[in-house]
Amino acid sequence: MVKAVVAGAAGGIGQPLSLLLKASPLVDQLALYDVVNTPGVTADLSHISSIAQIEGFLPENDGLKKALTGADVIVIPAGIPRKPGMTRDDLFKINAGIVKGLVEAIAETCPDAYILIISNPVNSTVPIAAEVMKKAGKFNPKKLFGVTTLDVVRAETFVQVHTGEKDPRKTVIPVIGGHSGETIVPMFSQAKPKVNIPEDKLDALIHRIQFGGDEVVEAKGGAGSATLSMAYAGFRFTESIIKAAKGESGIVEPTFVYLPGVEGGEAIQKETGCEYFSAPVQLGKNGAEKVENIVAKASDYEKKLLQKCYEGLKGNIEKGVEFVANPPSK
């Protein structure tokens, strides 16, 4: 039996993510939680002829606790989306508080569940979740993940014009670092099979992967951000977690983790100076089994990108830690 929970299920990412999870044969029970509109989304999805039994909850009547009870995997897309002209820092204050509240409830109700964080800014919200779990004495670094799969999905898609590969998923590109702007570092030197990108096209390709979110925000004319592609990426990562938990081996996904708590993480921490970092992680029955030190394999071009990444990432991480240590006054 696998019970999955979507916290923020009525939102732009939450709805398509809930649809994909409801349709997945890997999910037996699906609980949807949001502060508004959950009953409608639940009723709509409940008509789909798939395995997952579905329930929806609102905050009243202890709804969050009921949604989380018995959960195996919790995916958190809750929060507000980025609007044009809005920095990820503007998002931070609002979404940081939302994530903190949800994770406090997880620590109390289902501390052993896998926690998958989509809420931006991921570089800060994952450290917030970790600090909340530490405070509660319930932190398991092998089960806390920042979902950076959208960067991987974009890299696979945007490189297609250079590879000519019909199915973009067949090109494996590790994307490492963080999950915003210059903290996102696609490692084309480590692509499998090898990819040849013309030198004069590389800068533009990297920039498009790093700032792909802006492309969508602009195209939607301020009416939303990357919700459908993020839901797909979030689902893809959630499926990998469930498959690994069920015993499937050989599953490797880049994801943003707490390095000191995962085997192989200390070497990356030493090299990057960052406590949290996204790198290819081998997933297993207990979550993050091992993280690959791919940083050591960076080309000279990638090393320059990584230097910028470390600078940005350290500040983002500190911001998250600080938010829990000294919460802003209401």
CA distance 90 to 95: 9
Q: What mean pLDDT is predicted for residues 69-80? A: 96
Q: In 267-278, which positions are buried (b, 16+ CB within 10 angstroms) versus exposed (e)? A: ebbeebebbbbb
pLDDT of 100 > 80? The answer is: yes
- 267-280 per-position pLDDT tens digit: 999 999 999 999 99
The pLDDT of residue 2 is: 98
pLDDT of 320 > 80? The answer is: yes
Q: Is 296 exposed, middle or buried (0-12, 13-18, 19+ CB in 10 A)?
A: exposed
pLDDT of 263 > 70? The answer is: yes
Preceding peptide of 193 cis, ω within 30°? yes
pLDDT of 197 > 80? The answer is: yes
The pLDDT of residue 88 is: 66
Closest CA to 179 of 90, 255, 92, 98: 255
The pLDDT of residue 82 is: 66
Q: Which residues are catalytic?
A: 151, 179
DSSP characters over 54-99 = EEEE-STTTHHHHHHTT-SEEEE--SPPP-TT--HHHHHHHHHHHH
**DSSP 3-state assignment of 278?**
strand
- 102-115 per-position pLDDT tens digit: 999 999 999 999 99
Exposure on the CB side of residue 253, measured as CA atoms within 13 A: 30
Beta-carbon contacts of residue 271 (< 8 Å; ≥ 6 apart)? 293, 295, 296
CA distance 129 to 116: 10
CA distances from 91 to 29, 184, 188 (A): 31, 18, 30
- pTM (2 d.p.): 0.97
Which H helix or E strand runs over 234? helix 228-245
pLDDT averaged over every residue in the chain: 96
- 139-157 per-position pLDDT tens digit: 999 999 999 999 999 999 9
